[in-house]
Amino acid sequence: MKRRTFLEKTSLTSLSFTSAILLPGCIQSKKLTPTNNNELSPQEEGFPPFPIAICTWGFMDANQAAGEALMNNVSSLDAVIQGVHVEEQNIYNTTVGKGGAPDRDGNVTLDACVMNSDGNYGAVLCVQNISNVAALARKVMEETPHAILAGQGAEDFAYAKGFKKENLLTKDSEQAWEEWKKSSHYKPVINIENHDTIGMLAIDKNGDLSGACTTSGLAYKMKGRVGDSAIIGAGLYIDNEIGGAVATGLGEEVLKTVGSFLIVELMRNGMHPQQACEEAIRRIVNKSTNYKDFQIAYIAINKAGEVGSFCIHEGFTYMKFQDGKNMNVRSASYVK
């Protein structure tokens, strides 16, 4: 794609963003109009590849926050944590942070992880009463001899580091849970547009790559359930020499194929991020007899700033901030 065509596309897209009404700290009240899955080459004449931030779903504000931070020269790790923080605080998002849907016993439990450009990783699993769990995962990475803290241990560590105790169950989430209990039918919804796990990847001005992934997991899961999002190689993987990948969707299925690690390894062997995401989805689909009943989506970026995305079912979009513009891009899917 020529630079001019790219600019035409992005300016059209950014028009649709400026017309979206944004409430402070809330998800966008108007639906985004995603562009089609358009693989853009940052190497096009005169186009600066970095910084770039991408994230799962239409989390426009979160990606914008990360993109602006990157433009202000912060590191990719700081940028992804600042970006996902927007959704962790968003009480109208029922799958991340405060306001997340509870497990079937009414507990909101969060999973999160981060990876930095040195290949370091930190995660917290099944944490209650703390909303900024990506920042907490970073603390685990930087200030403990461990990589993962779970449950009460993670919560106690958070208080020791000055995080404040919060009730994560909002009135709305509680009401929805009370309603759910009437049937207690457990069936994760295939696509929850713009309201899902946020996984974010960023390349800063130095060309260094980091990622973060944060979620309340599946609504009405069993107590103690942990999905893929905080598990290295499944929900997120970064190799600063190659690229990064992040997943959203049914965690049980992502875990079994270690999808994010797989994508990075496929890129190491020469695949474009788009092909690598397609192959990772194909592996799941080929092994599963019931892929029609669940959604999984991946986004990936390589060191050159090329981006790819693929999902099982139509409806998944991702955000891409580059060259000062924040675009919502429709992912290609296995099932049309």
| Residues near ligand ASP, by CB under 6 A | 95, 196-197, 215, 217-218, 227-229, 248-251
Q: Which of 13, 56, 109, 197 is catalytic?
A: 197
Please indicate whether residue 197 is annotated as part of the active site: yes
Residue 99, CA distances (Å) to 21, 89, 219 in order? 21, 8, 11
In the complex, minimum distance from the CB of residue 16 to ligand ASP, in angstroms, rounded to a whole number: 25
Q: Which of 277, 143, 103, 295 is nearest to 201 (CA)?
A: 277
In the complex, minimum distance from the CB of residue 176 to ligand ASP, in angstroms, rounded to a whole number: 16
Helix (H) or strand (E) holding 139: helix 133-143
Q: Tokens for 326? A: 């924040």
Q: Which is nearer to ligand ASP, 166 or 193 (CB)?
A: 193
Q: How far apart are CA 41 and CA 47, in angstroms?
A: 9
In the complex, minimum distance from the CB of residue 216 to ligand ASP, in angstroms, rounded to a whole number: 8
Helix (H, G, I), strand (E, B) or coil at 264: helix
Strand extents, DSSP E, the chain: 52-56, 110-115, 121-127, 148-150, 198-203, 209-215, 236-239, 243-249, 296-302, 307-313, 317-322, 325-330, 332-335
Residue 299, CA distances (Å) to 61, 89, 100, 153, 221 in order? 18, 23, 23, 31, 25
In the complex, minimum distance from the CB of residue 95 to ligand ASP, in angstroms, rounded to a whole number: 6
Q: Which is nearer to ligand ASP, 40 or 258 (CB)?
A: 258
Q: Which is nearer to ligand ASP, 249 or 273 (CB)?
A: 249
Cβ-based neighbours of 260, under 8 Å, separated by 6 or more:
233, 234, 235, 236, 237, 244, 245, 246, 247, 254, 298
In the complex, minimum distance from the CB of residue 199 to ligand ASP, in angstroms, rounded to a whole number: 8
In the complex, minimum distance from the CB of residue 188 to ligand ASP, in angstroms, rounded to a whole number: 7
Helix (H, G, I), strand (E, B) or coil at 17: helix
Q: Which is nearer to ligand ASP, 128 or 215 (CB)?
A: 215
Q: How far apart are CA 100 and CA 173, in angstroms?
A: 7
Using the structure block, give the residue that is written with the tokens 């429709």. Answer: 330
Q: How far apart are CA 195 and CA 201, in angstroms?
A: 18
Q: Cis peptide leading into 51, omega within 30 of 0?
A: yes
In the complex, minimum distance from the CB of residue 191 to ligand ASP, in angstroms, rounded to a whole number: 9
Q: Is 12 left (phi over 0), alpha (psi -120 to 50) or beta?
A: alpha
User: Is the separation of the CB atoms in 207 and 50 below 8 Å?
Assistant: yes
Residues designated catalytic: 197
